[in-house]
Amino acid sequence: MIRAIVGFFAFIVDVVYGNRPYSRFYLLETIARVPYFSFLSVLHLYETLGFWRKADWLKVHFAETWNELHHLLIMESLGGNRYWIDRFVAQHVAFAYYWIVVPIYMLLPKSAYYLMESIENHAFHTYDEYLKSHEAELKAQPAPQIAINYYCDGDLYMFDEFQTTNPSREFRRPKVDNLYDVFVNIRDDESEHVKTMVALQQPAAWLTFHSPHTVVELTPVEDKSQVLAPNMRGCLKSIDLNPPSPLKKGE
Ligand SMILES: [Fe+2]
Ligand SMILES: [Fe+2]
């Protein structure tokens, strides 16, 4: 049922925006991140009312909104939000969608996560098809600066935070040499979102689902270099586990 509804709306968007890919992606990115805002709002509400606290879930969902925000910024840098009508439609649908997802998440959280899995799955296939049909054209264009900043130059903590189902803790370090690479990275981000939504529907998710950084912190091992991803080992080296006394001899 949910998959059919998502498929119907995706079909409408594809028909209306078929020949304007960046406007279509702008619309999809504006709307597709809204459920994460709904999840965050409801989780905050539960915590405020004293029902329960799911700090890891808040952190992961915020990292997902942060990732989707950067997809949106990339589409805006490519001109996807150039026309008033596209902004009007995207923002008003997003507003309505937020209020639709809030009660679904409160009453049927697994269904809300399944809805999001379906949307993220559609996003993955949309970008995958676009990559296959526009490979040469995309490889000839430079990457937007916002994509370079997000995937390469910035603090990647938030980027790592939404990659929750990676058992090896080998976080992605994507290249951004051209626009093709950017779309590959966005497609792969959507794949990570699908995996997280699937993980959150598992019966034991309530107990087992954690932020990837929390898992690292909680791993009880003697030699942490065996469990930390290579890119994090440098951080470990900077932590002195046996700091010298602040007082030197003779002081
Ligand atoms: Fe996205
Ligand atoms: Fe996504």
We report the CATH number of the domain holding residue 7 as 1.20.1260.140
Neighbours of 122 (CB within 10 A): 21
Q: Which ligand is nearest to the CA of 120?
A: 2
Q: Report pLDDT for 53.
A: 83
Q: Is the CB of residue 165 less than 8 Å from the CB of residue 199?
A: yes
Q: Report pLDDT for 247.
A: 46
Q: Which ligand is nearest to the CA of 119?
A: 2
Name the nearest CA neighbour of 55 among 161, 159, 150, 160.
Answer: 161
Q: Report pLDDT for 215.
A: 57
Q: Report pLDDT for 212.
A: 83
**80, 196, 128, 181: CA torsion to nearest 10:** 70
Please enumerate in sequence order all residues whose Cβ is within 8 A of that of 73, keeping only pairs 6 or more positions apart, or say none: 146, 150
Can you tell me which residue has the tokens 């000839």?
Answer: 140
48 CA distance to ligand 1 middle (Å)? 29
**Is residue 239 included in any domain, yes or no?**
no
136 CA distance to ligand 1 middle (Å)? 22
Name the nearest CA neighbour of 51 among 42, 63, 60, 64.
Answer: 42
For every one of its 251 residues, what pLDDT tens digit does the chain have, with 9 covering 90 and above? 666 777 767 777 777 777 789 999 999 999 989 999 999 999 999 999 988 888 899 999 999 999 999 999 999 999 999 999 999 999 999 999 999 999 999 999 999 999 999 999 999 999 999 999 999 999 999 999 999 999 998 888 889 888 888 766 678 888 999 999 999 999 999 999 999 999 999 988 888 888 888 855 555 555 544 444 444 433 333 334 444 444 444 44
Q: Report pLDDT for 8.
A: 66
Q: Report pLDDT for 231.
A: 44
**Is residue 38 included in any domain, yes or no?**
yes
193 CA distance to ligand 2 middle (Å)? 6
184 CA distance to ligand 2 middle (Å)? 13
187 CA distance to ligand 1 middle (Å)? 8
Neighbours of 205 (CB within 10 A): 16
Joined tokens for residue 225: 């270099």
**Is residue 241 included in any domain, yes or no?**
no
Q: Report pLDDT for 222.
A: 52
Report the domain count for the chain.
Answer: 1
Q: How deeply is 244 buried, as exposed, middle or buried, from its count of CB atoms within 10 A (0-12, 13-18, 19+)?
A: exposed
Q: Which ligand is nearest to the CA of 192?
A: 2
**Is residue 125 included in any domain, yes or no?**
yes
Q: Which ligand is nearest to the CA of 68?
A: 1
80 CA distance to ligand 1 middle (Å)? 14
49 CA distance to ligand 2 middle (Å)? 29
Give the rounded distance of the alpha carbon of 104 from its chain centre: 21
Q: Report pLDDT for 157.
A: 87
Residue numbers of the domain that contains 123: 2-206
Neighbours of 110 (CB within 10 A): 13
Total residues belonging to the chain:
251
Q: Report pLDDT for 161.
A: 87
**Is residue 101 included in any domain, yes or no?**
yes
18 CA distance to ligand 1 middle (Å)? 18
**Is residue 218 included in any domain, yes or no?**
no
d(CA 194, CA 82): 29
**Is residue 193 included in any domain, yes or no?**
yes
Give ∠ CA 25-100-51 in degrees, rounded to 5. 120
251 CA distance to ligand 2 middle (Å)? 57
d(CA 231, CA 225): 11
Q: Report pLDDT for 1.
A: 65
Give ∠ CA 84-90-93 in degrees, rounded to 5. 135
Q: Which ligand is nearest to the CA of 127?
A: 1
**Is residue 222 included in any domain, yes or no?**
no
190 CA distance to ligand 2 middle (Å)? 4
